[in-house]
A and B are shown apart, each in its own frame.
Chain A
Amino acid sequence: KQEVTQIPAALSVPEGENLVLNCSFTDSAIYNLQWFRQDPGKGLTSLLLIQSSQREQTSGRLNASLDKSSGRSTLYIAASQPGDSATYLCAVRREYGNKLVFGAGTILRVKS
């Protein structure tokens, strides 16, 4: 059974810091991995999707990497801003099937 773990559960940093959020999964037979952002009381917004054959994806100040063999992904946020404060979730799609398995998320607070 695929399990997805995100560390840390919560993170508080001063504005301007570069930071890394971690996601690990137990079964390396994945099709892709997706990072999401969720603001309080809202739905999820897709940030980056990495196919299993890819090593990383970038969008603006965000960079996500994938090491499929070791079951790990990281989301790097450069020059963090208060507007980045949110919960960040990763989800893996299994190699066979249509389901995503989500981690519990990392709550990020960027202090001004």
Chain B
Amino acid sequence: DVKVTQSSRYLVKRTGEKVFLECVQDMDHENMFWYRQDPGLGLRLIYFSYDVKMKEKGDIPEGYSVSREKKERFSLILESASTNQTSMYLCASSLFKATRYEKLFFGSGTQLSVL
């Protein structure tokens, strides 16, 4: 089974801190995604990557950056955390195989609180 691992289950940070959220997948997937999930707003795409060192903005990239130096690892960076970035962050990955987009697999999520 595909495993998508997020490094922290819960994080508490202070306003202005630089925050790193790490995600690792073990199935050689090309595509990796970062979403945030908020009550009443559903899942919103922050950034995604379809290859090493490649990244594309999602729907709400402001205040975030990403890094993909290795295929299996996709990092989300909050340059200067703010209280409105308190949220559940979900990492996902998928395979692009023979022109078909395959299923999306999610990690367990990181609940980030910014105080």
Which residues of A are in contact with B by a Cβ distance under 8 Å? 31-32, 34, 36, 41-46, 49, 51, 89, 91, 93, 98-100, 102-105
Known contacts A93-B101, A98-B101; A104 and B109 CB within 8 A of each other: no
Q: Which residue on A lies nearest to B96, using beta carbons?
A: A98
Residues of B within 8 A of A (CB): 4, 6, 31, 40-43, 45, 48, 50, 56, 58, 90, 92, 96, 100-109, 111
**Least Cβ–Cβ distance between A66 and chain B, in angstroms:** 15
Q: Are B103 and A104 in contact (CB under 8 A)?
A: no
Asked if residues A100 and B31 are in contact (CB atoms below 8 Å), the reply is no
B90 partner, pick from A34, A44, A99, A105, beta carbons under 8 A = A44
Chain A: minimal CB distance from B32 (Å): 10
Q: Is the CB of A32 within 8 A of B43?
A: no
Is A98's CB under 8 angstroms from B105's CB? no
Report if A98-B31 is in contact (Cβ < 8 Å); known contacts: A44-B90, A89-B43, A104-B42. Answer: yes
Enumerate chain A residues within 8 angstroms of B45, measured Cβ to Cβ: 99-100
Set A44, A49, A99: member contacting B106, Cβ < 8 A: A44
- Whole-angstrom distance between the Cβ of A22 and the nearest chain B Cβ: 16
For the complex, what is the distance from the CA of A102 to the CA of B59, rounded to whole Å? 12
A36-B104, A43-B108, A98-B31 known; 10 new pairs, CB 8 Å cut-off, are A43-B90, A43-B106, A46-B103, A46-B104, A46-B105, A91-B43, A93-B101, A100-B45, A102-B43, A104-B40
